[in-house]
Amino acid sequence: MVKKQELARATSDEFFSSVPKGYSIGKTKYIIVTGSVISGVGKGTFTSSLCNVLKWSGLKVHPIKFDGYLNYDAGTLNPYRHGEVFVLDDGTECDLDLGSYERMTNQNLSKDNYLTSGKIFKTIIDKERQGLYLGRDVQFLPHVTGEIKHFIRNCAVNHNPDIIVVEIGGTIGDLENSYFLEAMRELAYEENKNNVCFVNVTYILRPNILGEHKSKAAQLGIRTLMEQGIQPNIIVCRSEDNIKESIKEKISISSNVPVNRVINLCDFNTIYDVPLFLKNEKVDEIVMDILGIKPKKDFLINPADWKKFVDNINKPNKEIIIGITGKYTGLHDSYLSILNALEHSAPYLNAKIKLKWIETTNINSNNVKDELKDVQGIIVPGGFGERGIEGKIECIKYSRENKIPFLGLCYGFQMAVIEYSRNVLGLEDANTTEVKETKNPVICILPEQEEIEDLGGTMRLGGFDVIVKENTLAYKLYKNKKVRERFRHRYNVNPKYIEELEKNGMIFSGIAPEKRIMQILELKNHPYFLGTQYHAEFTSKPLEPNPLFLGFIEACLKKN
Ligand code: GLN
């Protein structure tokens, strides 16, 4: 954020375009992606796919997501309303789009890739309270927009990318995103024309009663963008199936965008096809042409690797059914990274995965068998609170006893410890103190969490090392004594019970380096019974699937 001296300089004029030290115009180029007509139009897929394909040309990209909500970050958002909270290595809790960026760019991101209105306003008000605006009234223009521009220029200096790709959340016309848009208009003005490329992702309606595509809503959406002083350079028309040339022409004439820069992006079977499509349509070349840059010699993502990965998606030779338990089963986006990890790991084993959602609130020892009879494996994902946990524990017991592959992630790991304590150690009242005070709190709060009251950004968050024990399943899969995985939790295995759990056959095959925090558990004499205190799904990427997911799917295939 804007530093003190820069701020003093910047407050003296009306431009307030403070640039961080070391910044030079033209060194980093910008692509700004906006959406019109409807939200959920596929801006995220387009943005991440474009980043992917630019890396084929060796260009270093830095994706940024702007989110208009007033939350500081996504940490306190309910996944049932908003979809999964994704966690970055530096502990940033963010929008699930950042997960798509990481998977499609095959790179790890940080807080510098995510900006909310809440974060900007907090910064500004903190500064105002410190008197840093030197008596000036603090305004949306130039201060809020200045802070936004500063954020992205800072990324240019600190990360040195060839291109910063900004995705502005929401739809053109939203009040809460309007100052992001204004900031990007100012940026284009200040950076000069050839350094900024605007892309609008729009939607071409096809009302059932008419049975043909209609471009008016898209035209109006684009016009709203132009009314705000932004001339798009490329229009991406999303539609269910191909639109006619005449529709493209209408869009072109009404938006000043040459018809060869009006791209029709239809629905695909998988999002992994989209980079190939963009390459085919030469969108990368169009962008490079607009920005005046050339491809580099060495690629940053090998196109051949990507093509091979996509090819394999299309030739599975075995289908398996995987059960996912959980209380957010109504909104699949709540588990987006798990679904993606399964989807992008399966092609490596020529498998196709069908999901079975298991709502655990009604599961008990009598009906668990029926629920699980057709699955080849189950995943018990992360979660919070009491609802559905007894059903999860029943599912874990059933998969342990009946040798059904099991993968427990975070809360799923903790549930596995509770199940084992109850049914193998005989501690009938074993539980987590998150839901119940009990005589046998086998899962308890982390010591450093005891005093914390605020909910946002206070869990044990982000990437930590995991020391993997040799001669274990975890070691066999990771082939490494030390790995780095991502965490988001307040509770952990109560150290008082570790010895007894181990004596009774539970193996803690991954632990934290300095603290006594158990991070992976597994059982012998079972095809695959493994739980992680971390979210293995967050580090899994199409070109580097997490080995624990590969191992799990492999075990499920054998079960079939
Ligand atoms: N509720 C558990 C905890 O806070 C697990 C959290 C999770 O699954 N992300 O430790």
Average pLDDT over residues 238-242: 94
Atom of ligand 1 nearest to the CA of 383: 8
Is the Cα dihedral 479, 480, 481, 482 positive or negative?
negative
| Percent with pLDDT over 70 in the chain | 96
Instruction: Report the nearest-CA residue for atom 8 of ligand 1.
Output: 382
CA of 533 to the centre of ligand 1 (A): 8
Instruction: Report the nearest-CA residue for atom 3 of ligand 1.
Output: 489
| Percent with pLDDT over 90 in the chain | 83
Residue 10's pLDDT is what? 56
Q: Can you tell me the distance from the alpha carbon of 341 to that of 540, in angstroms, rounded to the nearest whole number?
A: 6
- Other CB atoms within 10 Å distance of the CB of residue 446: 15
pLDDT tens profile 299-311: 999 999 999 999 9
| Triad 322, 324, 328: Cα angle to 5° | 150
CA of 460 to the centre of ligand 1 (A): 10
CA of 97 to the centre of ligand 1 (A): 21
Active-site option among 522, 537, 554, 556:
537
Residue 392's pLDDT is what? 96
Q: Can you tell me the distance from the alpha carbon of 436 to that of 417, in angstroms, rounded to the nearest whole number?
A: 15
Active-site option among 419, 535, 554, 556:
535
537 as an active site residue: the answer is yes
Domains of the chain: 29-306 (3.40.50.300), 315-559 (3.40.50.880)
Among left, alpha and beta (phi > 0; psi -120 to 50; other), residue 549 is alpha
Instruction: Report the nearest-CA residue for atom 5 of ligand 1.
Output: 411
H or E segment and range at residue 351: strand 351-358
Q: Tell me the pLDDT of the chain averaged across its residues.
A: 93
**Most informative mutation of 449, 452, 458, 489 for ligand 1 (most atoms within 8 A of CB):** 489
Whether 371 and 324 have beta carbons less than 8 Å apart is answered as: no
Average pLDDT over residues 264-287: 95
Residue 2's pLDDT is what? 56
The rounded Cα 195 to chain-centroid distance in angstroms is 28
For residue 338, give every residue at least 6 positions away whose Cβ sits within 8 Å of its Cβ, in sequence order, or none.
324, 379, 381, 409, 537
pLDDT tens profile 403-448: 999 999 999 999 999 999 999 999 999 999 999 999 999 999 998 8
DSSP string covering 232-287 = -SEEEEEESSPPPHHHHHHHHHHHT--GGGEEEEE--SSGGGHHHHHHHTTHHHHH
What tokens does 182 get? 């204004």
Work out the pLDDT band at 332, boundaries 50, 70, 90.
Answer: confident
Q: Can you tell me the distance from the alpha carbon of 96 to that of 377, in angstroms, rounded to the nearest whole number?
A: 25
Q: Can you tell me the distance from the alpha carbon of 360 to that of 379, in angstroms, rounded to the nearest whole number?
A: 12
Residue 66's pLDDT is what? 95
Residue 399 has phi, psi (to 5 degrees) of -70, -30
Residue 133's pLDDT is what? 85
Helix (H), strand (E), coil (C) string for 97-162:
HHHHHHHHHCCCCCHHHEEEHHHHHHHHHHHHHCCCCCCCCCCHHHHHHHHHHHHHHHHHHHHCCC
Is the Cα dihedral 278, 280, 282, 284 positive or negative?
positive
Using CB distances shorter than 6 Å, the residues near ligand 1 are: 382-384, 410-411, 434, 488-491
pLDDT tens profile 456-488: 778 999 999 999 999 999 999 999 999 999 999
pLDDT tens profile 148-180: 999 999 999 999 999 999 999 999 999 989 999
**Most informative mutation of 387, 410, 431 for ligand 1 (most atoms within 8 A of CB):** 410
Q: Greatest CA separation found in the chain?
A: 75
Residue 525's pLDDT is what? 94
Whether 33 and 202 have beta carbons less than 8 Å apart is answered as: no
From the list 189, 178, 536, 553, the residue with the least C-alpha distance to 353 is: 553
Q: Can you tell me the distance from the alpha carbon of 152 to that of 19, in angstroms, rounded to the nearest whole number?
A: 10
535 as an active site residue: the answer is yes
CA of 134 to the centre of ligand 1 (A): 45
Q: Choose the weakest-confidence range: 41-55, 125-139, 250-264, 410-424.
A: 125-139
**Residue 531 vs residue 17, higher pLDDT:** 531
Q: Can you tell me the distance from the alpha carbon of 25 to that of 153, in angstroms, rounded to the nearest whole number?
A: 9
CA of 379 to the centre of ligand 1 (A): 15
Instruction: Report the nearest-CA residue for atom 7 of ligand 1.
Output: 382
249 as an active site residue: the answer is no
CA of 430 to the centre of ligand 1 (A): 17
pTM: 0.94
- Other CB atoms within 10 Å distance of the CB of residue 256: 11
Q: Can you tell me the distance from the alpha carbon of 405 to that of 471, in angstroms, rounded to the nearest whole number?
A: 19
Q: Can you tell me the distance from the alpha carbon of 367 to that of 390, in angstroms, rounded to the nearest whole number?
A: 13
Quick check: 11 pLDDT over 60?
Answer: no
Helices (H) and strands (E) in the chain, counts: 19, 21
Whether 199 and 31 have beta carbons less than 8 Å apart is answered as: yes
Quick check: 331 pLDDT over 80?
Answer: no
- Whose structure tokens read 């060839």? 162
Quick check: 329 pLDDT over 60?
Answer: no
DSSP string covering 421-450 = HHHTS--TT-EETTT---S-EEEEE-GGGT
For residue 110, give every residue at least 6 positions away whose Cβ sits within 8 Å of its Cβ, in sequence order, or none.
88, 89, 90, 92
Burial of 241 (0-12, 13-18, 19+ CB in 10 A): exposed
What tokens does 7 get? 């701020």
pLDDT tens profile 33-83: 999 999 888 999 999 999 999 999 999 999 999 999 999 988 888 887 778
Residue 192's pLDDT is what? 85
Q: Choose the weakest-confidence range: 15-19, 83-87, 331-335.
A: 15-19
Active-site option among 410, 485, 522, 526:
410
